[in-house]
Amino acid sequence: MIEKVLHALAEPRRRDILYLVRDGELTSSAIASHFEISAPAVSQHLKVLEQSGLVVVRRDGTKRYYGIRRDGFAELKQYIDRFWDDSLLRLKEAAEEEERRRNGTNKQ
């Protein structure tokens, strides 16, 4: 899902939408009123954001309230952390392997 998260965040307008819904839910039209783009454009962005797991929708009658989904951001942070953890782990294993190799030849 990190693919979709990064793709969603890469678009400036989608980040602007996230800033808007960060403090509380907003309807699609309420969000659209803050920008100069059309309602369908906003709707399409919201779809991308929802499918990335960064926002959630709550339906109430004809209205749809969009709000932040914290787990989506947590996933991104995890991805960054793991990026380093994996690297360190592999470097550690390589060092241990090197150590074993040296011990082996030294004892011969």
Kindly report the CA angle at 22 between 21 and 28, in degrees rounded to 5?
5
Which residue in the set 6, 34, 38, 97 belongs to the binding site for DNA (CB under 7 A)? 38
Asked if 46 is part of the footprint of DNA (rule: CB under 7 A), the reply reads: yes
Task: Rank residues 10 and 88 by Cβ distance to DNA and give the closer one.
Answer: 10
Which residue in the set 1, 6, 37, 95 belongs to the binding site for DNA (CB under 7 A)? 37
Q: How many Å apart are CA 108 and CA 102, to the nearest integer?
A: 10
Which residue in the set 64, 67, 73, 75 belongs to the binding site for DNA (CB under 7 A)? 64
As measured in angstroms, the least distance from the Cβ of 54 to a second copy is 11
- State phi, psi for 51 to the nearest 5 degrees: -65, -20
- Residues with Cβ within 8 Å of 52's Cβ and at least 6 positions away in sequence, in order, are 1, 4, 5, 7, 8, 9, 72
Residue 49 burial (10 A CB sphere; 0-12, 13-18, 19+): buried
Task: Rank residues 61 and 104 by Cβ distance to DNA and give the closer one.
Answer: 61
As measured in angstroms, the least distance from the Cβ of 38 to a second copy is 23
Instruction: Using CB under 8 A, list all residues that contact a second copy.
Output: 3, 6-7, 9-10, 12, 18, 22-23, 70, 73, 76-77, 80, 83-84, 86-87, 90-91, 94
